[in-house]
């Protein structure tokens, strides 16, 4: 796991601004790709490097990849991120919501940003089911 870059707050803010109105798209702006982009912005390191991931464009293909890797939770563990209590999550950490299916988002303090069809949607952080410390 990599440490946070000195300018991570600005990099995270730029990512949120760029993705705010970007609609959900499998393989480019889905929950895993959004979390990956956030982690990369914060740490400067791609957390999925070395996993042998291939491009996907459908929910079915994404589900097959996640199954092969053991699921969203296992993927974060394999990338070296430590699970934390939800109440300890801070800005930049990754959170898992169930709305209704498992969805990753980025903690922004009291809210979690999640990609949806209309762009980023913000949920109360306390609605998260799990959280991982980034950096």
Tens of pLDDT, residues 123-135: 999 999 999 999 9
Give the pLDDT of residue 69.
85
The rounded distance, in Å, linking the Cα atoms of 127 and 52 is 32
The rounded distance, in Å, linking the Cα atoms of 107 and 87 is 11
Give the pLDDT of residue 39.
96
In a domain, 12, yes or no: yes
Range of the domain at 127: 8-133
In a domain, 17, yes or no: yes
In a domain, 108, yes or no: yes
In a domain, 35, yes or no: yes
In a domain, 89, yes or no: yes
Kindly report the CATH number assigned to the domain that includes residue 33: 3.90.1720
Backbone angles phi, psi at 84, to 5 degrees: -130, 165
Q: What is the torsional sign of CA 38, 106, 115, 62? A: positive
Whether 54 shows a pLDDT value over 80: the answer reads no
Q: Provide the number of structural domains found in the chain.
A: 1
In a domain, 2, yes or no: no
């Amino acid at each position: 796991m990599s440490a946070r870059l000195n300018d991570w707050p600005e990099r995270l803010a730029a990512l949120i601004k760029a993705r705010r109105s970007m609609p959900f798209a499998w393989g480019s702006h889905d929950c895993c790709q959004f979390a990956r982009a956030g982690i990369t912005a914060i740490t400067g390191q791609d957390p999925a490097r070395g996993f042998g991931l291939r491009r996907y464009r459908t929910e079915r293909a994404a589900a097959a990849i996640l199954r092969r890797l053991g699921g969203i939770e296992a993927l974060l563990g394999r990338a070296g991120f430590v699970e934390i209590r939800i109440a300890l999550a801070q800005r930049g950490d990754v959170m898992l919501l169930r709305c209704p299916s498992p969805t990753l988002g980025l903690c922004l303090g009291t809210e979690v940003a999640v990609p949806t069809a209309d762009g980023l949607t913000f949920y109360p952080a306390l609605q998260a089911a799990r959280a991982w410390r980034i950096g």
